[in-house]
Structure 1
Amino acid sequence: MSGAHKSGALLEVSGLSVDIPTEAGVLHAVRDVSLAVRRGETLCVVGESGCGKSLTSLAIMGLLPPSAQRRAHRLALAGEDLQAAPARRLRALRGDRMAMIFQDPMTCLNPAWTIGNQLEEIFTWHGKGNRRAAHDRAVALLERVGMANAAGRLSQYPHQLSGGLRQRVMIAMALMCSPDLVLADEPTTALDATIQLGILQLLAELQAELHMGLMLVTHDLGVVARIADRVAVMYAGEVVEEGPARTVFTAPRHPYTRGLIDCIPQPDRMVPGQRLGTIPGMVPSLVGEVQGCAFRTRCAFARPECAADVAPRHGPDAHMWRCVLPPGMLERAA
């Protein structure tokens, strides 16, 4: 990613890595990830399950398990160094300046507290107002995420809500303090297709209203096509391609990105009975030394030089990709 794109960014991540010790060796779960999010911008991080998307978000928030080891050249929110910030300062930032919408609300909501207690606590703990103001804010946000009888829901416990309603509570909770940055980890997983669209539209509206940055982790490229300004494609713990959404979708430079796009159903372009694209093979193990392009064992374009470390290449509009193929080869193959 070019320096021009990073300058003025709300979130700056450069050279982020996460290592996790295991009995078999060190798992290099996130490898040299660099990305940025500006105010009012949506960055979608996509890739198969297990490619490091969620761990990248947790590393940014400082919510990794104790055994995990995080390091980065730079990790900053609005210019503030998150690596150098003491634990007390990080607690003050989380929920206030930056917030996260987790994928599984049942494991994140406290079963012993009512919905109202959990929403209002965030607001008052960060000094945004008194309990009455917190109550009014909670009701307003629950209404905005589409919950009927929002005021009545505040006295209920998480187990009394469906999975979709719990996810709406998580979204409202993340927005209680009007954060500058929201990290959303598969925020619509528990919702049906119609509600998914409504939630995504809500996030887009709130983003415009609050001028916040949004980093959305997902494996649904249909979602990405609707709302992303920029896309970061992750594979085996690293970003293999990153750039403007339109550029990445229309002119992908990495074979993995091309493979993901080919897996999207396109009714207007497909004939009856035509098979969807597939990506053969499996994601390689990231335990121990990892060298070269991790996708080479599944890539139809692999060549000997792929076994060596592949330096990032750059194109217009801060488009970055890690591949030795000359530009244009993927388009000709497609």
Structure 2
Amino acid sequence: MALLEVEDLVIDIPTAMGTLHAVGGVSFALERGETLAIVGESGSGKSLTSLALMNLLPKRVQRKAAKIAFDGQDLTTISQAGMRRLRGNRMAMIFQEPMTSLNPAFTIGDQLTEALLCHRKVGMKEATDRAVHLLEKVGITAAGQRLRQYPHQLSGGLRQRVMIAMALMCGPDLIIADEPTTALDVTIQAQILHLIADLKKEFGMAVILITHDLGVVARVADKVGVMYAGRLVETGTSRAVFKQPRHPYTRGLLDCIPVPGRTQPGMPLGAIRGQVPNLIGRLDGCAFRNRCDFAGPECAADIPLVRTGADHEVRCARLDATEVAA
């Protein structure tokens, strides 16, 4: 049995202009010890999907799903109290911007120990010792002194490491990392990614990595889900998707990445023409067809995910044309 199973996840947001269909029919499964990367442009529904799994969506946002099961437990019917027992305990999240996720009025130590004191029958000394241990584990020196500091006294890289340590406090089975390297410089990004990969192996966790950076995905992910306009348009193992991308959107994303030895200085990088369609109201057919060089009349119909290999599925009506162009 998979650790996490999601079937037909739908997220709708009522607006003054109509219902915004932010996420439509997303399905995936995640095994223990695996890393799933969900990639796509800003606004594609990646972060909303992660918040839906943690049941952290705003009240006015409507979440529906045929199934959201965590270790066999149905998260679509679980009570708020039951969800609070899971959050921060067996399911943890590393948010995109640590400065807005950490409370500026409390010390690092207070915020690190809170989850352990809430979910485990431990005293303050044991919780503090655990906090120091994990701060050292994520590469923070003088960990005992850091516990007395406030978030504004730490750099962006250190705050992100604190967020990772906080997520690990209760030894979760699943960590959701929502663009954990967006606000960091390139050197720190690499350190954080290596850190997450090492900790995953050490603690045997499953990881969902939300990102728009395919370079990141290639280094750390076992499986990839490419998301566009609220729908998964291509899924598969990292090797299958990178070796033979089939959806035009996936190819467009990969073309935007400079390749050492092939992309010469001064050469223009690839770009995807057009813009993401308005998701308010009814949206028929492939949402990418207004930006796609292969679009045809058949793209206006509903398009299911089609299996193109043992570990590869694509939502495209023009697979014959894209294969010829590959």
TM-score above 0.5? yes
The structure 2 residue matched to 1:286, chosen from 279, 284, 301, is: 279
TM-score relative to the length of structure 1: 0.95
Partner of 1:96: 89
Distance across 1 between alignment mates of 2:300 and 2:208:
31
Is the counterpart of residue 330 in structure 1 residue 322 in structure 2? Answer: yes
Instruction: Quote the offset at 1:272 in angstroms.
Output: 4.0
Is the counterpart of residue 231 in structure 1 residue 224 in structure 2? Answer: yes
Partner of 1:265: 258
| Identical-residue share of aligned pairs (%) | 61
- Give the RMSD, CA atoms, in angstroms: 1.2
Q: Is the 8 A contact 1:10 1:78 kept in 2?
A: yes
Task: Encode CA deviations 1:11-68: one digit per residue, 9 max, x unaligned.
Answer: 1010001001011110111110001111010000000000000000000000000100
Distance across 1 between alignment mates of 2:15 and 2:167:
32
Amino acid at match of 2:111: Q
Partner of 2:66: 73
Distance across 1 between alignment mates of 2:161 and 2:202:
19
Instruction: Quote the offset at 1:181 in angstroms.
Output: 0.3
Is the counterpart of residue 111 in structure 1 residue 100 in structure 2? Answer: no
Partner of 2:23: 30
Amino acid at match of 1:103: Q
Distance across 1 between alignment mates of 2:55 and 2:98:
19
TM-score relative to the length of structure 2: 0.97
Is the counterpart of residue 17 in structure 1 residue 3 in structure 2? Answer: no
More displaced, 8-17 or 125-134? 125-134
Number of residue pairs the alignment of both structures matches: 326
Partner of 1:4: none
Amino acid at match of 1:84: T
Q: Which 5+ residue runs of structure 1 have no aligned equivalent?
A: 1-7
Instruction: Quote the offset at 1:128 in angstroms.
Output: 5.2
Specify the SS of the correspondent of 1:169.
Answer: helix
The within-5 A match list for 1:314-329 is: 314-327=307-320, 329=321
The structure 1 residue matched to 2:56, chosen from 47, 63, 76, is: 63
Amino acid at match of 1:204: A
Amino acid at match of 2:55: G
Partner of 2:200: 207
The structure 2 residue matched to 1:185, chosen from 137, 158, 178, is: 178
Distance across 2 between alignment mates of 1:330 and 1:276:
21
The structure 1 residue matched to 2:293, chosen from 289, 292, 300, is: 300
Partner of 2:270: 277
Task: Encode CA deviations 1:63-87: one digit per residue, 9 max, x unaligned.
Answer: 0001000000000111110111100
Specify the SS of the correspondent of 2:102.
Answer: coil
The structure-2 alpha-carbon separation of the partners of 1:174 and 1:111, relative to structure 1 and needing over 3 Å to count, comes to same
Distance across 1 between alignment mates of 2:252 and 2:145:
47
